[in-house]
């Protein structure tokens, strides 16, 4: 079955620490990858996405992610976190259906990040 | 530009009842998807609609259904509610630029409808 795995369920960091959240997906072939963030009380927002091309993707608020095809990974990174980065982070994958079309996203279980001032 | 709106924001129902949730996509967006979010299962895809047609469906029982209207607004219905249906139901819309709609555009999520089944 298609799946997306996020191995870190809870992460606690101090401000200015570096962040790396892991994401692995389970299927080969063409895959589009996304990181979403959900700040407390707010909507899911797109941080960044990878469709093709440069495997290092830069998103909003200083976040970046690296697509490593051989490892089926799409880890999210930020060199220096701030208290305002406290949120839940979701990795998601979309597999373009051959001969079809879809926006269907498969989400990971999410990582709750708490940044201590 | 107004974002995705969902109504109602909160709903309390009892087992056995049925419920209808509404989603208004961003103006001009043609694709609407629905997701269920629970602490135990996370975010799970329910179904998606494009141009009033269901384009894809997740692994949910037939009690979960939906539709899309000509103005792209969408509704989802859950019949014979069970306790396990308590969840945050999220709607997402996207532009789907390509003719015929091939998907893959950024999805914009609404605030969700919090459904509690007692």
Of A49, A101, A105, the CB nearest to B101: A101
Of B3, B43, B48, the CB nearest to A103: B48
CB contact under 8 Å between B103 and A45, yes or no, is no
Residue with tokens 């899911």: A44
Q: Is the dihedral of CA B55, B58, B62, B68 positive or negative?
A: negative
**Predicted local distance difference test score (pLDDT) of residue B40:** 85
Beta bridge partners, B47, equal: B34, B57
Per-residue pLDDT for A31 more than 70? yes
Give B61's Cβ-side CA count (13 Å radius).
8
Cα distance between residue B98 and residue A52, in whole Å: 17
Query: B86, B85, B82, B47: which is closest to B67 by C-alpha?
Result: B47
Least confident of A28-42, A50-64, A94-108, B65-79: A94-108
Per-residue pLDDT for A14 more than 60? yes
Q: Is residue B95 helix, strand or coil?
A: coil
pLDDT tens digits along A64-89:
999 999 999 999 999 999 999 999 99
Cβ count within 10 A of residue A108: 25
What are the C-alpha distances in Å from B71 to residues B27, B52, B97, B98?
9, 9, 16, 18
Contacts of A109 in chain B (CB under 8 A): 42
Residues 6+ apart with CB under 8 A from A22: A5, A6, A7, A8, A73, A75
Residues B23/B91, Cβ–Cβ less than 8 Å = yes
Please give the residue of chain B at the shortest CA–CA distance from A5. B42
Say yes or no: B74 contacts chain A, CB-CB below 8 A.
Answer: no
SS3 per-residue string spanning chain A: CCCEECCCCEEEEECCCCEEECCEECCCCCCEEEEEEECCCCCEEEEEEECCCCCEEECHHHCEEEEEHHHCEEEEEECCCCHHHCEEEEEEEECCCCCCCCCCCEECCCEEEEEEC
Please give the residue of chain B at the shortest CA–CA distance from A43. B111
User: Residue A74: phi, psi to the nearest 5?
Assistant: -150, 75
pLDDT tens digits along A45-64:
999 999 888 999 999 999 99
Rounded to a whole number of angstroms, the distance from the CA of B45 to the nearest CA of chain A is: 7
CB contact under 8 Å between A103 and B92, yes or no, is yes
Cα distance between residue A30 and residue A14, in whole Å: 37
Say yes or no: B5 contacts chain A, CB-CB below 8 A.
Answer: no
**Predicted local distance difference test score (pLDDT) of residue A2:** 67
**Predicted local distance difference test score (pLDDT) of residue B101:** 44
CB contact under 8 Å between B96 and A45, yes or no, is no
Per-residue pLDDT for A1 more than 90? no
**Predicted local distance difference test score (pLDDT) of residue B99:** 40
Residues B78/B86, Cβ–Cβ less than 8 Å = no
CB contact under 8 Å between A51 and B104, yes or no, is yes
**Predicted local distance difference test score (pLDDT) of residue B1:** 66
pLDDT tens, position by position, for chain B (118 residues)?
A: 689 999 999 999 999 999 999 999 999 898 999 999 998 889 999 999 988 999 889 999 999 999 999 999 999 999 999 999 999 999 999 887 554 444 457 889 999 999 999 9
Of B102, B107, B108, the CB nearest to A101: B102
């Amino acid at each position: 079955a298609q799946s997306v795995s996020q191995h870190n369920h809870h992460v606690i960091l101090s401000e200015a620490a570096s962040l790396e959240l892991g994401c692995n997906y389970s299927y080969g072939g063409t895959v589009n990858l996304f990181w979403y963030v959900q700040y407390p009380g707010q909507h899911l927002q797109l941080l960044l996405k990878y469709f093709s091309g440069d495997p290092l993707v830069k998103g909003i608020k200083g976040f970046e992610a690296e697509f490593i095809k051989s490892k089926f990974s799409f880890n999210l990174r930020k060199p220096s976190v701030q208290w305002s980065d406290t949120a839940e982070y979701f990795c998601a994958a979309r597999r373009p259906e051959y001969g079809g079309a879809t926006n269907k996203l498969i989400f990971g279980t999410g990582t709750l990040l708490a940044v201590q001032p | 530009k107004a974002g995705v709106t969902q109504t109602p924001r909160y709903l309390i129902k009892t087992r056995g009842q049925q419920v209808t949730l509404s989603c208004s996509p961003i103006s001009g967006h043609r694709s609407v998807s629905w997701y269920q979010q629970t602490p135990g299962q996370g975010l799970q895809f329910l179904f998606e609609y494009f141009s009033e047609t269901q384009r894809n469906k997740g692994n949910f029982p037939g009690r979960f259904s939906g539709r899309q209207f000509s103005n792209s607004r969408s509704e989802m219905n859950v019949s014979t509610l069970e306790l396990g249906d308590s969840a945050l139901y999220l709607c997402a819309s996207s532009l789907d630029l390509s003719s015929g709609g091939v998907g893959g555009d950024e999805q914009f999520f609404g605030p969700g409808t919090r459904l509690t089944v007692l």
